[in-house]
Each structure stands twice: as C-alpha cells, then as structure tokens.
Amino acid sequence: MMLRRLYKESVVMLLVLVMSYSPLWPSSAIQGAVAQPIDPGRVIFDQALHHDNEHDALTYLNMGANPALIDKHGNTALHIAAVNGWVNTVTKILDINQNLIDFQRMNGSTALLLALQSHSEEVAIILLVNGANPAIADRNANTALHAAA
C-alpha cells in the first residue's frame, strides 16, 4: 500500500513538473492522427484488445495491425492498453504511431487520463515521458492532474 502511494505521488510530481514547463499546450486536436472507423479485416485485433488478451494484441501489432483503428466508443488500441495497464502494448503502439498519444475518444478522454483513472501509473509515466499532454480535459473538464490527485 505504501509503495502504491509513493508511486502515485511520483506520478503527481511528474504531472506538475510537465505542466510547469509547458503551461500552454497546443489545441487538443491531434495533427496527423489517423484514427479511422474499424476495418472489418481487423476485427480479430479489436477482439484481442477487448477480451483482455495482451499477448494476442501484441502479436497482431507485430504482424502489422493498425493501432489507430477506433471502436464504437472512439477508443484506439492505445486507450484500451492504457486502461488495462499493458505496458508492453502501450510501448509498441507508441513505437508504431506516436500521433495517437493525445487522441481523444468520444467523451474526450485521452490514454493518459484513462491510465490514471485505472490506477495504471506505470503506463501514465510512459505516456508522459513520450510527450502526453496532461492539460487535455475530457467533456467533464477532468484532466490528468485531477485523476492523479
């Protein structure tokens, strides 16, 4: 329990540090993001993501699956991996398509916000180190800092 609290405090400190160096972030619109409606040919990749099967999701990514495909809720593979705390999958997705890092799903949530709401602090740190914007708010005006507090 103490380790979890220490980890959470580290995430909050990292968020504050990032915010202090970059108080004015560009608009939350992600230039270059290539999210598209789900391709029927990639349904099996989508199923691996939604059935908590990180091993299969990584296999499909290594075979060329497009992590920018979105589901009916606006989730990309990065959102799902962040919620589940899949460190390896998050890292692989960012290697494939860095532009997805701040992509907002239908309710405005980013992978960073979802990771923090799901207590996936390790994923949150990876996202922050890779340039995730902690100032992006969802439709309820929640930001990563709110979720980390």
Give CA angle at 17 (12, 18), nearest 5°: 100
User: In the prediction, which pLDDT does 30 show?
Assistant: 40
Whether the pLDDT of residue 12 is over 60: the answer is no
Whether the pLDDT of residue 130 is over 80: the answer is yes
For residues 87 and 85, what is the distance between their CA atoms, to the nearest angstrom?
6
Identify the burial level of 101 via C-beta atoms within 10 angstroms of its C-beta, where 0-12 means exposed, 13-18 middle and 19 or more buried: buried
Whether the pLDDT of residue 13 is over 80: the answer is no
Q: Which region among 27-41, 72-86, 91-105, 113-127 has the lowest average model confidence (pLDDT)?
A: 27-41
The residue type found at 52 is D
Beta bridge partners of 70: 37
Q: For the residues 95-109, what does the mean pLDDT come to?
A: 95
Instruction: Please report which confidence band the pLDDT of residue 18 belongs to, taking 50, 70 and 90 as the band edges.
Output: low
- Domains of the chain as residue ranges with CATH: 2-20+40-148 (1.25.40.20)
Whether the pLDDT of residue 43 is over 60: the answer is no
Instruction: Please report which confidence band the pLDDT of residue 83 belongs to, taking 50, 70 and 90 as the band edges.
Output: very high
Q: How far is CA 121 from CA 38, 100, 111, 117, 139, in A?
A: 28, 19, 12, 9, 22
User: In the prediction, which pLDDT does 120 show?
Assistant: 94
